Amino acid sequence: MMPVSSRPQDSADRIYFTLVALIGGALMIYFALVPVFGLNVAFHFYLMLWITMASAFNVSSGFSGYLPFGYVAFYGIGAFTTAILVKKAAFPVFLALPFSGVAGLVLALLFAPTLRLSGIYFGIVSLALAGICRLVITNMPEEITGGSFGLQLGSRAHPVQSFYVMMAVMVVALATILWLSRSRLGKALRATRDDADAAEMMGINVPRVRLYGWMIAAFFPAVCGGVEAWYTNVVDTETAFNTLITAKTVIYAVAGGLGTVTGPIIGAVAMVWLDELIWRQFPLLNLLILGVATVALVLFLPRGIVGSILRRKPQWRRYVP
């Protein structure tokens, strides 16, 4: 038996972990049953993908204070890594996917010097670097990248298997971010985000902490790119490096609220549903309406759904993951 303690912190923790278990459990059971009950696998596959992307992005922007406008670079590099390894090196998909993650980490290391920039300068350089990644891949020999036709993975497609792999990736990503949000590294990151010089003078090794956060933020989109390549069975530079991927990731994360674990999850769920609804009702106007909805959201809930609630209810901050 654990000793029963009446410290308020412990009861806050109890509520926190109950919420984690409830939300996490509900998410997992729901998604696990999607193929079983013949629900829309494609829709839910992408829902999980966007939850993962928005959550990983949150590590960079919400926890660390960086806005990488070229976030899609990690996704694209991951997509091509899996596609090339599977198609050209005859790797089994399950072996190729971890290499996508590694490719994301390597790219994060290559981009690490840009972490010295801040604000809009970092964002613009990040956008330019994503463009360069895309150019490099576009100009690689066709025998490797498939040129403008892209790479077809052929008979490897397996929607249900890839669905569950996506689910595993999402669960690992969320668990990592949940850990991060309570860990000492997470506190160091937040301090660095709020005032890097002050954090440094309090003994935080700022460049190192930033690099760790950056690598976590890069790893998951790269794996997502790989899983999506497997799921759709085709990869080309046009879609794998599409700026809309960054835009959606940012919008979903911001809609839910940066800085909390639940924010990007709720943001992605709300916005992907909204997108789907609008698309079904108004197939021609869906981008316009989605744009208006996004603008309205930013105007009325500038801190996102979760962020705005916690602003009004500061006493809930301790309980909400």
Residues in touch with another protein (CB under 8 A) = 9, 184, 187-188, 190-191, 193-195, 197-206, 259, 314-315, 317-318
Handedness of CA 247, 250, 252, 254 (dihedral sign): negative
User: Please, which residue, 43 or 316, has the CB nearer to another protein?
Assistant: 316
Contact between 66 and 196 under an 8 Å Cβ cutoff? The reply is no
User: Please, which residue, 155 or 315, has the CB nearer to another protein?
Assistant: 315
C-alpha distances (whole Å) from 38 to each of 33, 35, 121 are 8, 5, 47
Distance between CA atoms of residues 70 and 124, nearest Å: 8
User: Please, which residue, 107 or 199, has the CB nearer to another protein?
Assistant: 199
Q: How many CB atoms lie within 10 A of CB 302?
A: 12
Distance between CA atoms of residues 314 and 71, nearest Å: 31
Q: How far is the CB of 320 from another protein (least distance, A)?
A: 12
How many residues can be counted in the chain? 321
User: Please, which residue, 7 or 280, has the CB nearer to another protein?
Assistant: 7
Question: If you search the block for the tokens 């790797």, which residue do you land on?
Answer: 91
Q: How far is the CB of 9 from another protein (least distance, A)?
A: 7
Q: How far is the CB of 185 from another protein (least distance, A)?
A: 8
Q: What is the DSSP letter of 106?
A: H
From the list 211, 214, 248, 212, the residue with the least C-alpha distance to 228 is 248
User: Please, which residue, 9 or 139, has the CB nearer to another protein?
Assistant: 9
Q: How far is the CB of 199 from another protein (least distance, A)?
A: 7
Distance between CA atoms of residues 239 and 76, nearest Å: 8
Q: How many CB atoms lie within 10 A of CB 236?
A: 21
Q: How far is the CB of 31 from another protein (least distance, A)?
A: 31
Q: How far is the CB of 303 from another protein (least distance, A)?
A: 11
User: Please, which residue, 6 or 9, has the CB nearer to another protein?
Assistant: 9
Tokens of 85: 């390894």
From the list 57, 54, 59, the residue with the least C-alpha distance to 193 is 59
Q: How far is the CB of 198 from another protein (least distance, A)?
A: 4
Contact between 163 and 44 under an 8 Å Cβ cutoff? The reply is yes
Q: How far is the CB of 235 from another protein (least distance, A)?
A: 39
C-alpha distances (whole Å) from 304 to each of 53, 84, 140, 297, 300 are 17, 38, 41, 7, 9
Q: How far is the CB of 119 from another protein (least distance, A)?
A: 16
Which residues does residue 152 pair with via DSSP β-bridges, in sequence order?
Answer: 234
Tokens of 245: 């991927």
User: Please, which residue, 193 or 248, has the CB nearer to another protein?
Assistant: 193
User: Please, which residue, 13 or 276, has the CB nearer to another protein?
Assistant: 13
Contact between 64 and 191 under an 8 Å Cβ cutoff? The reply is no
